[in-house]
């Protein structure tokens, strides 16, 4: 079997931008590496990627359990050009490497998710410390749509949150391998979750910087006496014009801009010791204070003196990154769409709620009476299902960048059936608009203030207040439209909150709370943190009715 030399025990390159260079000169580099390996007594038969015959792993019956997800650490695996019948995906956990395919090459780094199509010839070259998960799926475990997704997006750069989530999921699954029934169900979920994350991730990683660009920026950071682009190009072993063009093409900035940024980096490291702007500027490489002042203001947006007066010991200038940051995963999972829709707005229900709140919803709570229900002429939540397409289009109009995802998500969601299961237990009555509005306003107060659902007495008082202040409603069709908007808003916000809390990241829940707070201020003109619709601070609470609330409702409203 012709094997490709295993380089796992040797550094791939001294440059972090190695893969881009390697792809262009793989044959010559491999021949050089071949000589080193032969000297070490290692058998090595080099072939350029995808040239000649490839191994068909289908003929090796014992190579893997199918289907499965398994972890391969540093030094594991065969580096042979091969293909197989299964759909394969790889999640890179640590280290570096490169994939050679028939028509493309990929750099691998932490957070990379790579799809290999059935019968697609490929070869993996491992860098030091490459640690990754490998999933192998038979045709029973994927659909034509999944195959199309893998073909359209063979390489995705996952967020740190998504990469960590998948790693933990795969680890958990691996510990159930002694229970085939549990493992099979877990594998199905893991595959679906992987596909969902691949579908919702931002896209492929940014292009790898040319090694000359990486080296040039590194030199500018270290050397403060590089006079011009020609001197820098000579140090990098390329022509002046070539380096100048590369810098602009791959970074969007030229030599002078990067030299100034490097000097500003050195300045902010020197200044805390000298505490003198001129001394630090000259030591950083600037020719004069005038030059330093102009560059500082252009790049930072303020004067050096103003920055020095306002800075503290931990403050750093927000400068463009000069270091190669390809190994750094970006923050922010895009897997769950609900948090981005937490301030969703539906015109009919928003108008009616705003008018109802404006009619004095929170005023004179001592005079509340039971009042009459506000009929919707509906007998079940299922009767609202035909409104879902119109509500989805409202969301798409308000969120055009996510329109495709919104339509796809709601194609699989029965919004009104989910509402009946999740929120109807709190007393929601589809036949009474005041009941649906009570749930909607209670959910807004809950999320803005991290409150529990209202006690029955508080919910009753809020419903009574809504009935008293309710704005006029015309036709039965208008009442249905308002009901649909109230249900959709409550359900989406509830799911956003569940997702944020479930993430275990405190800032996610805080972000939902801030979003809801700002939404209520913008749409209804009310500060839910000063004047919530339920809870001990609400003018409508049972404690207020008993005289335990000291501030008057009007005072609370005026503070908003």
Q: What pairing do the DSSP bridges indicate for beta strands 155-157 and 112-116? A: antiparallel
Q: What pairing do the DSSP bridges indicate for beta strands 82-83 and 55-56? A: parallel
Mean pLDDT on 375-392 = 90
Q: Cβ neighbours of residue 514 under 8 Å, at least 6 residues apart?
A: none
pLDDT tier at 548 (50, 70, 90 boundaries)?
Answer: very low
By C-alpha distance, which of 13, 1, 205, 181 is closest to 97?
A: 13
CA 333 to chain centre: 2
| Residue 70: exposure state from Cβ atoms within 10 A (0-12, 13-18, ≥19) | middle
CATH topology of domain 48-200: Jelly Rolls (2.60.120)
- Contact indicator for 458, 538 with CB cutoff of 8 Å: yes
In angstroms, the CA 189 to CA 550 distance is 53
- DSSP one-letter string for 119-177: T--EEEEE-TT-EEEEEEE-GGG--HHHHHHHHH-SEEE--HHHHHHHHHHHHHHHTTT
- Contact indicator for 540, 462 with CB cutoff of 8 Å: yes
Which DSSP category does 41 fall into? T
Residue with tokens 């697609």: 120
Q: Where in the chain is the domain with CATH 1.10.10.60?
A: 211-310
Tens-place pLDDT, residues 431-442: 999 999 999 999
Strand boundaries in 9-160, DSSP class E: 55-56, 68-72, 82-83, 87-94, 97-101, 105-108, 112-116, 122-126, 131-137, 155-157
Q: Where in the chain is the domain with CATH 2.60.120.280?
A: 48-200
Q: Which residue has the higher pLDDT, 303 or 37?
A: 303
Residue 29: φ, ψ to 5°: -65, -40
CATH of 211-310, one of 1.10.10.60, 3.40.50.300, 1.10.10.10, 3.30.300.10: 1.10.10.60
To the nearest 10°, the Cα dihedral for 308, 312, 317, 323? 140
Query: What pLDDT score was predicted for residue 201?
Result: 78
Tens-place pLDDT, residues 56-76: 544 433 344 457 788 886 655
Residue with tokens 């002429």: 377
Tens-place pLDDT, residues 453-510: 888 888 899 999 999 999 888 888 999 999 999 999 999 998 888 888 877 777 888 8
């Amino acid at each position: 079997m012709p094997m490709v030399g295993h380089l796992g025990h040797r550094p791939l390159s001294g440059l972090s931008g190695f893969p881009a260079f390697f792809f262009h000169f793989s044959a010559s580099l491999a021949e050089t590496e071949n000589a080193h390996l032969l000297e070490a007594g290692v058998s090595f038969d080099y072939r350029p990627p995808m040239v000649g015959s490839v191994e068909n792993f289908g003929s090796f019956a014992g190579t893997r359990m199918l289907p499965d997800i398994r972890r391969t650490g540093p030094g594991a695996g065969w580096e042979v050009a091969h293909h197989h019948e299964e759909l394969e995906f790889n999640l890179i956990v640590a280290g570096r490497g490169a994939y050679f395919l028939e028509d493309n090459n990929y750099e691998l780094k932490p957070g990379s998710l790579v799809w290999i199509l059935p019968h697609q010839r490929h070869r993996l070259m491992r860098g030091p410390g490459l640690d990754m998960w490998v999933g192998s799926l038979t045709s029973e475990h994927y659909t034509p749509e999944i195959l199309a997704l893998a073909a359209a997006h063979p390489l995705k750069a996952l967020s740190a949150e998504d990469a960590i989530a998948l790693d933990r999921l795969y680890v958990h699954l691996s510990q159930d391998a002694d229970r085939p029934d549990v493992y099979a169900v877990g594998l199905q979920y893991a595959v679906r979750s992987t596909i969902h994350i691949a579908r919702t991730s931002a896209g492929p990683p940014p292009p790898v910087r040319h090694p000359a660009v990486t080296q040039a920026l590194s030199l500018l950071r270290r050397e403060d006496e590089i006079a011009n682009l020609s001197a820098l190009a000579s140090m990098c072993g390329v022509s002046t014009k070539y380096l100048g063009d590369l810098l602009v093409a791959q970074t969007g900035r030229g030599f002078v801009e990067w030299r100034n940024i490097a000097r500003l980096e050195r300045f902010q490291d020197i200044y805390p010791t000298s505490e003198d702007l001129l001394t630090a500027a000259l030591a950083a490489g600037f020719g004069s204070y005038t030059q330093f002042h102009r560059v500082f203001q252009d790049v930072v947006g303020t004067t050096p003196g103003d920055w020095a007066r306002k800075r503290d010991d931990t403050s750093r200038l927000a400068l463009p990154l000069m270091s190669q940051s390809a190994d750094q995963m970006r923050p922010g999972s895009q897997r769950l769409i609900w948090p981005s829709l937490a301030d969703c707005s539906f015109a009919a229900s928003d108008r009616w709620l705003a008018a109802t709140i404006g009619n004095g919803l929170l005023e004179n709570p001592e005079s509340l009476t039971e009042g009459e229900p506000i009929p919707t002429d509906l007998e079940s939540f299922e009767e609202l299902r035909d409104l879902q397409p119109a509500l989805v289009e409202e969301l798409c109009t308000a969120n055009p960048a996510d329109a495709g995802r919104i339509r796809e998500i709601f194609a699989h969601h029965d919004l009104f059936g989910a509402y009946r299961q999740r929120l109807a237990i709190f007393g929601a009555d589809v036949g009474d608009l005041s009941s649906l509005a009570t749930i909607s306003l209670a959910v807004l107060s809950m999320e803005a203030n991290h409150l529990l659902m209202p006690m029955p007495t508080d919910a009753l008082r809020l419903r009574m207040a809504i009935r008293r202040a309710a704005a006029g409603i015309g036709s039965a069709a208008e009442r249905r439209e308002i009901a649909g908007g109230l249900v959709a808003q409550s359900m989406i916000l509830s799911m956003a909150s569940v997702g944020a809390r479930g993430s275990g990241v405190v800032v996610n829940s805080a972000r939902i709370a801030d979003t809801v707070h700002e939404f209520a201020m913008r749409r209804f003109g009310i500060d839910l943190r000063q004047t919530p619709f339920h809870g001990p601070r609400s003018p409508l609470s049972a404690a207020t009715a008993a005289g335990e609330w000291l501030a008057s409702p009007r005072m609370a409203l005026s503070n908003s």
